[in-house]
Amino acid sequence: MSSLELIRSSAREFAEKVLGPIAKKIDEENFVSEDVRKEVANMGYFALRVPEEYGGPGLSLLESVVVAEELSRVSSGVGIMATVSGSMVPPPLIFFAKKEIKEEYLEKLAKGGIGAFGLTEPCCGTDAAAITTRAELRNGEWVISGRKTFITNSYYADFFLVAARTGRPEDRHRGISLFVVDRDRSCMEISKLDMMGYRGSGTSEILFNECKVPSQNIIGPVNGGFKIVMDALNEGRIVTASTGLGVMQAAFEEAFEYAKKRESMGKPLTEHQMIMSMIAEMKVRLEAVRSLIYKAAEKVDRGDPDYPMWSSIAKLAAARWGVDLVRLAMQVVGGFGYSRESKIERLYRDIKMIEIGDGTNQAQEIVIVRSLLGKIRPPRIT
Ligand SMILES: Cc1cc2nc3c(=O)[nH]c(=O)nc-3n(C[C@H](O)[C@H](O)[C@H](O)COP(=O)(O)OP(=O)(O)OC[C@H]3O[C@@H](n4cnc5c(N)ncnc54)[C@H](O)[C@@H]3O)c2cc1C
């Protein structure tokens, strides 16, 4: 067995054994218990990309994609938690943070800490260059105030990467810096949101009220954070897409198994040509998305400069074809698929997230065309 297949089989075993029995409960209660979070941490899944020298598993992006896919096949909520903390938070620390900060926070993740990534605000998601959360340097400390929303993991997180304005509003993306901020109840209000899918992932709104952060906690140069954020999103989109791939795989399996057993007009659904057509269509979409995601992840691992475009291609494919696939899966399962008893109903709510989170479909289209025009190059390479 290759090392990739070993990583896959251990993630699958963990997901089926630990998450399988509680996946429905996680969705219903919109909560992952501390015990389960500890089990996920013990597997190293909140630190997927943290290099071994800092105590992490040091997985490649392709390997962490496979873990996210397997966890999300069983529980998308836990899959996205691992993805954000383990794959999206480490790269800005690895490539752009000062040595002491890099060590401190990568080691925190390796010891089971959970990280979150705070960019979106009530005012602005797609237009991230318009964010209004402010960071001011006062007496040698950064003081951060503002509101972030839809931040995955933030209900449980030990620390946050926070994008904040350090320049003038009219400077747009040239006036934004990135900070690492410890959880601090005295200056933060964190309110969990009741989202439609990917439930349990601790997606919350955060109010920062004059949070004081040591001056060295800035990642990259003052006013130079936007490129780092975009670079993290380039990588993050691939892993977010892979959580969608896990949801697609689960929906395909549910529909196919159901169609083999369910009979209509004296024969199984799999013997009816119109159902065969839907199953074939689902399989094609599933494998196309898998190939695109793996290709994009390999491009990041190799350092190919066109990985931002491939990341957006993979994310857009997972979003559009994922929504199509789960719709077909529900059609195959019929009335039962529409009932709360069925897993397909949860998967149907989950998959829509891929069209929105980590940049909407429209945002991916913008990245693809800007890349074709030669306007996007990843900052860690150029
Ligand atoms: C479950 C979930 C988890 C999330 N987790 C995180 C997280 O961990 N961290 C984080 O920072 N954010 C997170 N987000 C936020 C997510 O990234 C944003 O919701 C997303 O970027 C869209 O921003 P918005 O919601 O403000 O929509 P808007 O930007 O207001 O967009 C509304 C609509 O207008 C379209 N639109 C907007 N601008 C343009 C344009 N210029 N051209 C064409 N169309 C446009 C959009 O495509 C969309 O269809 C999460 C969201 C969800 C749903």
Confidence band for 316, pLDDT divided at 50, 70 and 90:
very high
Q: Closest ligand 1 atom to the C-alpha of 195? A: 1
Fold (CATH) for 115-224: Butyryl-CoA Dehydrogenase, subunit A; domain 2 (2.40.110)
Cβ 76 under 6 angstroms from ligand 1: no
Q: Is 322 in the pocket of ligand 1 (CB under 6 A)?
A: no
The residue-averaged pLDDT of 172-177 equals 97
> Among 27-31, 167-171, 377-381, where is mean pLDDT lowest?
377-381
Pocket flag, ligand 1, residue 360 (CB < 6 Å): yes
Tell me how far the alpha carbon of residue 16 lies from the centroid of ligand 1, in angstroms. Answer: 32
Mean pLDDT of 149-178: 98
- Per CATH, the number for 3-110 is 1.10.540.10
Confidence of residue 381 (pLDDT cuts 50, 70, 90): low
| Closest ligand 1 atom to Cα of 365 | 43
The CA 71 to ligand 1 mean position distance, Å, reads 24
pLDDT at 312: 98
Residues 6+ apart with CB under 8 A from 275: 259, 269, 332
Residue 150 near ligand 1, beta carbon < 6 Å: yes
Q: Atom 23 (ligand 1): residue with closest C-alpha?
A: 125
What average pLDDT is seen over the chain?
97
**Nearest atom of ligand 1 to the alpha carbon of 126:** 29
Q: What is the dihedral of CA 203, 208, 211, 215, to 10 degrees?
A: 70
Which residue intervals of the chain bear CATH 1.10.540.10? 3-110
pLDDT, tens only, 329-377: 999 999 999 999 999 999 999 999 999 999 999 999 999 999 999 999 8
The pLDDT of residue 379 is above 80: no
Of ligand 1's listed atoms, the one at least distance from the Cα of 361 is 47
DSSP string, 229-289: HHHHHHHHHHHHHHHHHHHHHHHHHHHHHHHHH-EETTEEGGGSHHHHHHHHHHHHHHHHH
Q: CA distances (Å), 313 to each of 6, 198, 290, 292, in order? A: 28, 22, 12, 7
pLDDT at 227 over 70: yes
Q: Which of 143, 289, 296 is nearest to 212 (CA)?
A: 143
Q: Residue 1's pLDDT band (boundaries 50, 70, 90)?
A: confident
> Tens of pLDDT along 83-119?
999 999 999 999 999 999 999 999 999 999 999 999 9
382 pLDDT higher than 70: no
State in words which class domain 226-372 has: mainly alpha
Residues of the chain with CATH 2.40.110.10: 115-224
For CATH 1.20.140.10, the residue range(s) in the chain are: 226-372
